[in-house]
Structure 1
Amino acid sequence: MTAQRERVRELIEQARVVLWDFDGPICRLFAGHSAERVAAELMEWLEGRGLHGLLAEDERRTADPHAVLRAVDRRHPDSDLVAELEERLTQAELRAVPSAWPTAYADPLIRTWTAVGARLAIATNNSPRVVHSYLADRRLVDCFAPHVYGRTQELRHLKPNPHYLNRALTAMGAAPSQALFIGDTPTDCQAAQEAGVMFLGYARNERKGKLLLDAGATDIVGSLEPLLNTLRTARR
């Protein structure tokens, strides 16, 4: 057994609660609906309202819709403008759901982990409405419900703030030491560190892996297959 497989087994054995990020470990939400285009559409909407100057030059070059949302919130926190922009992002995410790509091995891993008695939750910067729509399409709602915690118009709670992770732990009556969080971004890693939970990074390519390493992640997999194989072996 390799060192990585041993470590995966240790994480699985320690976890009574498994928290998941959504976009990345469970699916690629914008696989068929460019996130860069969504960010551009949000900026075009701002420009149409004469608010082009709200974003600095480097912010206008972003391909991340959440970066646009954060930038506006920093300048106009808790405003109607932020609320409308957040809803526009939610609608764009909902339009992306039909073309989202399931992450390889995610569906069977989720079902198997549920079958062996782990409790699952989602902690995401995406809208909970989007998560529920995707889970319903994949018939995975029962594996998580009611524990889906995600973006509201209170953007200060977005990861790396551990708010969504803490909400999940509190609702499930779980200690941080019993929980494993699976995420694919530096903000996921930082949120896990803040919440005091174990973190497993999912990196579908070398660039993602380097970002996670730079953020302090020590356990990283390039595929969810080793987790699924470990769970299936443990059930025999």
Structure 2
Amino acid sequence: MTTAADLIRQADAVLLDFDGPVCSIFAGLPAPVVAARLKQVLVKEGVQLPEDVEALEDPLKVLRRTAEIAPELVDKVETALMGNEVEAATSAEITPGVREFFEACAEAGKPVGIVSNNSAPAIETFLAVAQLEEWVTAVSGRPIGVPEQMKPHPQSVLWACKALGVEPAKAVLIGDSDFDMQAARNAGTRSIAYANEPGKADRLTQAGADAMIGSMADLV
């Protein structure tokens, strides 16, 4: 069976999802608070929220649903989400082991890219605050204004590979969600599941993960 270590050794470049493997972006500004702010933007614009949208506590899901229930407001909700993400990034908590992992990748000559459904400005803000900028060569954030191109769509993974100058088959993506595993498969990239919570390992295996880790320190 292929191990996570095998995949890292075989890869010419390493890609990481942002929220989870790199940090907990909403540690200081909770995701439900941001979701509520986005829903308020919709309400102020006169949108009658469906029950399922009213119940959402994930801001990215609110953005996805905005494209369906009020496509004319995608840009307004996108702008609000980005502002909240940048605010959240200033109080995000770094994932244990990720700094050491970035350093190990640099020593091994493997460039690092971040592939995320969070916005690039938020990612760049966190990298600056955490002083991780020197280790990250490419940032592929959420495709602005086109929520349908967020992961599991392969676009952001393919863009990161192009920016790093590697073929997708020679990269490996580390992520903690079904969408990460699916995006990797859709792009032709190998994947490592960061299963840091009970029940994640089975779910991410079913989503197509090629290997599994329980912490970022496992890879160092």
Shorter-normalised TM range: over 0.9
Residue identity matched to 2:57: A
Residue identity matched to 1:14: Q
Could you say which residue in structure 1 is the equivalent of 2:67? 73
Residue identity matched to 1:200: I
The structural deviation recorded for 1:29 is 0.4
Residue identity matched to 1:117: G
The structural deviation recorded for 1:183 is 0.5
Task: Tell whether 2:18 aligns with 1:22.
Answer: yes
The answer to whether the Cα contact below 8 Å between 2:176 and 2:193 also exists between their aligned partners in 1 is yes
2:210 and 2:140 map into 1 onto residues whose CA distance is: 25
Which residue among 149, 168, 174 is the counterpart of 2:140? 149
Residue identity matched to 1:67: K
Task: Tell whether 2:189 aligns with 1:189.
Answer: no
Identity %: 36
What pairs up with 1:52-201 in 2 under 5 angstroms?
53=48, 55-77=49-71, 79=72, 81-145=73-137, 147-151=138-142, 152-201=144-193
The structural deviation recorded for 1:57 is 1.3
2:178 and 2:150 map into 1 onto residues whose CA distance is: 13
The residue matched to 1:30 in structure 2 has which SS?
coil
1:63 and 1:207 map into 2 onto residues whose CA distance is: 20
Judging changes above 3 Å, is the alpha-carbon distance between structure 1 residues 215 and 56 closer, same or farther for their aligned structure 2 residues? farther
Q: Which runs of 4+ in 1 moved over 6 A?
A: none
Q: What is the TM-score with the length of structure 1 in the denominator?
A: 0.87
The structural deviation recorded for 1:115 is 2.2
**Residues 54-103 of structure 1, C-alpha deviations (whole Å, 9 max, x = no match):** x42122211110111011112444x3x21111111111111112221111
How many pairs were matched up?
219
Judging changes above 3 Å, is the alpha-carbon distance between structure 1 residues 56 and 207 closer, same or farther for their aligned structure 2 residues? farther
1:88 and 1:210 map into 2 onto residues whose CA distance is: 35
Judging changes above 3 Å, is the alpha-carbon distance between structure 1 residues 209 and 59 closer, same or farther for their aligned structure 2 residues? farther
The residue matched to 1:206 in structure 2 has which SS?
coil
Could you say which residue in structure 2 is the equivalent of 1:35? 31
The structural deviation recorded for 1:217 is 2.2
Question: Greater helix percent: which structure?
Answer: 1
Mean Cα deviation higher: 61-70 or 203-212: 203-212
2:195 and 2:33 map into 1 onto residues whose CA distance is: 23
- Which protein shows a greater Rg? 1
2:55 and 2:81 map into 1 onto residues whose CA distance is: 17
The structural deviation recorded for 1:20 is 0.9
1:84 and 1:214 map into 2 onto residues whose CA distance is: 36
1:9 and 1:190 map into 2 onto residues whose CA distance is: 21
1:9 and 1:204 map into 2 onto residues whose CA distance is: 17
The residue matched to 2:75 in structure 1 has which SS?
helix
Task: Tell whether 2:194 aligns with 1:202.
Answer: yes
Judging changes above 3 Å, is the alpha-carbon distance between structure 1 residues 216 and 46 closer, same or farther for their aligned structure 2 residues? same
1:216 and 1:162 map into 2 onto residues whose CA distance is: 14
Mean Cα deviation higher: 218-227 or 188-197: 218-227
Mean Cα deviation higher: 208-217 or 128-137: 208-217
The structural deviation recorded for 1:214 is 3.3
Residue identity matched to 2:168: P
The structural deviation recorded for 1:49 is 2.2
1:178 and 1:141 map into 2 onto residues whose CA distance is: 23
Q: What is the TM-score with the length of structure 2 in the denominator?
A: 0.93
1:218 and 1:142 map into 2 onto residues whose CA distance is: 28
